[in-house]
Amino acid sequence: MKKDFDAIVIGSGQAGPFLAVRLAAVGQRVAIIERNRVGGTCVNTGCIPTKTLVASAYSAHMVRRAADFGVQVDGTLRVDMKRVKARKNEITGKARSGLESLLKNTPNCTVYRGHARFESPQEIIVGGELLSAPQIFINVGGRATIPSMPGVANTPYLTNSTLLDLDVLPRHLVIIGGGYVGLEFGQIFRRFGSEVTIIEMAPRLIAHEDEDVSVEVQAILEREGVQVRLNATCIELKKFRDGEVGAHLDCTEGVPEVTGSHVLLAMGRASNTDDLGLEKSGVARDGHGYILVDNQLRTNVPGIWALGDCNGRGGFTHTSYNDFEIVAANLLDHEPRSVTDRITAYNLYIDPPLGRAGVTERAARATGRRVLKGSRPMSRVGRAIEKGETQGFMKVLVDADSKEILGATILGPGGDEAIHCLLDMMYARAPYTVLKNAMHIHPTVSELIPTILGELQPL
Ligand SMILES: Cc1cc2nc3c(=O)[nH]c(=O)nc-3n(C[C@H](O)[C@H](O)[C@H](O)COP(=O)(O)OP(=O)(O)OC[C@H]3O[C@@H](n4cnc5c(N)ncnc54)[C@H](O)[C@@H]3O)c2cc1C
């Protein structure tokens, strides 16, 4: 027998649950379907667990550096991976159960556990039950890409999900991929005490950033003993004698084989749209498997929307949540909102963190506009000097004619927070001179932003 709803939400990531609650609050009968753990990637295998590990790793790092600050720590440092994992589980568990009870306690909202598949543009099958609704919201997220290279089938490897289940310290973690997942895990495990090698096929890490950012991020990691292999393409995973695992590389420099105790595949994300029965819905995808959507996140099929990582328009928790806000505003608040209203912004949570907003220097140049740039190394920022954390730099890009801020990078202590003062100015579309003349609090990293804006030079 078919069960009728007003709306069906597939996936309980960073958009689906909040949309389900909003729709239910206006009296719609809503079904939300989750095949795994409520909260999706961010809560269970992404942002939240990794940031708890970043915090544990930071405390190990600061204990090692304690003497620099005049603090003596007697005895040997030992990282208790079981306790690290327990702390992570406690924090993610609270986030997950908070969401679970939100859904459970929402009137008009029914939670289904199981894998959802389209039967037709208005019908979904889950656990043998057929559900139908005139509105379907897809929020199925993504998973780690597993390439079909030789050796993958018979070599043990870890992903961002399975690495989080470890409660022992890898002796040597070989990470394939120098993107943000690989770099965060690389520094975390190095600080815990593992040997770490990061293998990247591009000539630099995080190659979508400006070169000065890639170079400084690499230097930060290498200063802590992370080994970085660039221009090295992993062409085969291998099992070696004595239980060692590793990668065979296509490279012109360095040894062609890297071995360690564990391999982490951090080679990007694949969209969870391949097993949704989309062919029965008529919903179109692009060549990478992302669902094609317009600026209000509507698919090509009326009555079906796609939100979060599966639409290829974001790739972060905040973009997925913003997708929810856009859909809710358009459908329920009669407030037209569009994906094009948002400004690119994200952080890389190595330590010190990288905060980014707007365009890179390379992209700013490519626009052909007259661009001004201001920058300053953290070694000339009082707050960074006081904290003994002078790695990194900040830079701001401004349109010389409109005076709008085009982009900003803060790689340094507090960069993940300080970036927001630039981001908010960008949303306000205020001329940079407003921020240049603002009085900021001393001593902070942010207090140097008005100073930088007073020293702009043509790019
Ligand atoms: C290691 C790591 C660290 C990260 N750190 C950050 C960070 O610091 N900040 C940040 O902003 N982003 C970070 N991200 C990215 C962020 O986690 C994702 O962008 C975000 O979680 C995407 O949310 P979503 O709503 O698209 O879907 P997801 O959170 O992926 O949720 C999708 C849900 O749909 C379910 N599902 C899939 N298919 C079906 C189906 N057919 N039937 C039923 N259910 C289904 C899945 O089980 C899942 O629960 C990180 C990602 C990783 C991997």
Predicted pLDDT at 245: 96
Q: Give the residue numbers annotated as catalytic, written as ranges.
A: 442
pLDDT higher than threshold 90 for residue 1? no
Question: Packing angle between helix 47-64 and helix 81-104, nearest 10 degrees?
Answer: 150
The answer to whether residue 241 scores a pLDDT higher than 90 is no
User: Which of 125, 126, 140, 184 to mutate for ligand 1's pocket (most ligand atoms within 8 Å of CB)?
Assistant: 140
Closest CA relative to residue 383, chosen from 413, 408, 404: 413
Of 45, 118, 189, 316, best ligand 1 pocket probe by most atoms within 8 Å of the beta carbon: 316
Average pLDDT over residues 63-82: 96
pLDDT tens, residue by residue, 15-37: 999 999 999 999 999 999 999 99
How far away, in angstroms, is 83 Cα from ligand 1 center?
Answer: 25
Q: What is the per-residue pLDDT for 253?
A: 87
Q: Which residue has the higher pLDDT, 1 or 343?
A: 343
| Angle value at C-alpha 427, between 346 and 453, nearest 5 degrees | 85
Residues with C-beta less than 6 Å from any ligand 1 atom:
10-15, 33-36, 40-42, 46-47, 50, 115-116, 139-142, 160, 181, 272, 276, 308-309, 315-318, 320, 349
Q: Which helix (H) or strand (E) holds 374?
A: strand 371-377
Rounded to an integer, the average pLDDT of 420-443 is: 98
Span 383-423, pLDDT tens digits: 999 999 999 999 999 999 999 999 999 999 999 999 999 99
200: its two tokens: 């990247």
Band of residue 217 on the pLDDT scale cut at 50, 70, 90: very high
Using 50, 70 and 90 to split pLDDT, how confident is the model at 219?
very high
pLDDT computed for residue 242 by the predictor = 85
Percent of the chain with pLDDT over 70: 100
Q: Which amino acid is at 421?
A: C
β-strand 142-144 against 269-271: which pairing, if any? antiparallel
What is the per-residue pLDDT across 360-373, written as a single tens digit (0 to 9) for each?
A: 999 999 999 999 99
For residue 114, what pLDDT band results from cuts at 50, 70 and 90?
A: very high
**Could you give the 3-state DSSP secondary structure of residue 199?**
strand
Is the pLDDT at 252 greater than 90? The verdict is no
Closest ligand 1 atom number to CA of residue 323: 25
What is the CB neighbour count within 10 angstroms for residue 179? 20
Residue 224 Cα, ligand 1 centroid: separation in angstroms?
30
- The string of pLDDT tens digits covering residues 282-316 is 999 999 999 999 999 999 999 999 999 999 999 99
Measured in Å, residue 354 CA sits from the centre of ligand 1 at: 21
